[in-house]
Structure 1
Amino acid sequence: MALVPYVENPLPALSKLHNSSARFHFANRDLQLAQDWRKLGVAAVVWDAAVVMCMYLELGKVDLKEKRVIELGAGTGLVGIVAALLGARVTITDREPALDFLSANVKANLPPDCQLQGSVVVSELSWGEGLERYPAGGFDLVLGADIVYLEDTFTPLLDTLEHLCSDASVVLLACKIRYKRDTDFLGMLKGRFTVQEVHYDKQRDIHVYKSWKLVPPKRDL
């Protein structure tokens, strides 16, 4: 996750990002996520990619019950919260400046038993740094919504995905394909993972990609 400073944007289509909260209904619960664009920029608003990711998770095409899940660049925490409500054991991560804000959203939107049982943890993670604090190959599912937008983060992000994933892990990324750099990232991802588009939300122009580690070919002895 990269914290980007607040810049006032007068476009009507972006006015919802300046609201102090955003409301949703997922996993049979009403959710209210605080937003704070002025303080944390892109890290503190709910983007369409997160909404589409939650909609995809609700389709039930990914088994979440008791699965070890980690969300990268969580921002407001919507995706991780919904994954937890759907039965996953979730580690919700972002960079240190966003953690208090993220933790407050998690606390406000998850039932106390979810938090007390340790099925949800909020944790600091800067991609490519301190990865030894997270078990290598320790997660069944890695989630990321609209986290592909800064070229400088692409290699650390890929290194992080490789560290977190075992050969059996799945990565789900939801994103817009806005610029050449976005397709460049997909090319880089395909160098390390098998990549398949599994969902497209035409209304919001959001793609969901499923990825898993490339399996090296067996050598004849």
Structure 2
Amino acid sequence: MALVPYDENLLLALSKLHQTSAEFNLANHGIRLIVLCMFLEMGKVDLKGKRSIELGAGTGLVGIIAALLGASLTITDREPALEFLASNVHENIPPSQQGAVRVSELTWGENLHLYPTDSYDLILGAEIFYLEETFPALLQTLKHLSSENTVVLLSCQIRYERDEHFLVELRRRFSVQEGHYESQRDIYRAVKNTTNTEL
């Protein structure tokens, strides 16, 4: 999931990861980015040429950042989000990189045969586990898409006890390394899958 090394005194830019999102002044506008985008932007993960997939992309921000940083990416979400997602990708990925990005429908746990097993170096997901009824399908999807060498980066905020249960189930299936955790705000900054263990 996302491994975020954090030391409040290390760098000013890194201290922005102390929050669930960070605000920047870009093009004379205040822009808020989620932590996983910040983590990728810092170059802590080599994205060049990595076969990657983003789950539950929503607007596609994380996938767009990953693609701009060199990943060969499939950006996924459920069917109702695809038109908006494809439009965002088209508007934000330069023509020279459009061929390295694909927008595709993926409902967790369904039609996984369309996504080859063991074919991804990197799986991305930002704030994707919040509905308890989706947890089994999400875990099944993560398992299907990953291999021993796949790195899974998830950025999440633990809001409820059910979210903690998801992390317990995740640990049963993957070797998990947690990043920064703020107990006062109940925020995990990251988790990293280093090896995929058998069920």
The TM-score by the shorter chain falls in which range? 0.7 to 0.9
1:66 aligns with 2:49: yes
Q: Radius of gyration: which is bigger? A: 1
Aligned residues of 1:52 and 1:206 also touching (Cα < 8 A): no
Q: Relative to structure 2, which stretch is displaced further, 191-200 or 121-130?
A: 191-200
Query: Which residue in the other structure is 2:189 paired with?
Result: 207
Give 5+ residue unaligned stretches, structure 2: 1-22
Count matched residues: 172
Query: Which residue in the other structure is 1:4 paired with?
Result: none
Q: CA deviation at 1:197?
A: 1.5
Measured in 2, the distance between the counterparts of 1:107 and 1:68 equals: 19
Query: SS where residue 61 of structure 1 aligns?
Result: coil
TM-score, with normalisation over the residues of structure 2? Answer: 0.79
Query: Which residue in the other structure is 1:151 paired with?
Result: 132
Measured in 1, the distance between the counterparts of 2:94 and 2:81 equals: 22
Q: CA deviation at 1:213?
A: 3.8
Measured in 1, the distance between the counterparts of 2:61 and 2:49 equals: 19
Measured in 1, the distance between the counterparts of 2:180 and 2:38 equals: 10
Q: CA deviation at 1:85?
A: 0.5
TM-score, with normalisation over the residues of structure 1? Answer: 0.72
Percent identity between the aligned chains? 58
1:128 aligns with 2:126: no
Spell out structure 1 runs of 4+ moving beyond 6 A.
201-204
Query: Which deviations, in whole Å up to 9, do the C-alpha atoms of 1:164-221 show, x marking residues without a partner?
Result: 00110010110101110110000000010011113458999452111244446xxxxx
Measured in 2, the distance between the counterparts of 1:149 and 1:211 equals: 20
Query: Which residue in the other structure is 1:94 paired with?
Result: 77
C-alpha RMSD of the superposition: 2.4
Query: Which deviations, in whole Å up to 9, do the C-alpha atoms of 1:44-96 show, x marking residues without a partner?
Result: xx9x7x61001011121111110001000000000000000111001000000
Measured in 2, the distance between the counterparts of 1:173 and 1:62 equals: 13
Query: SS where residue 137 of structure 1 aligns?
Result: coil
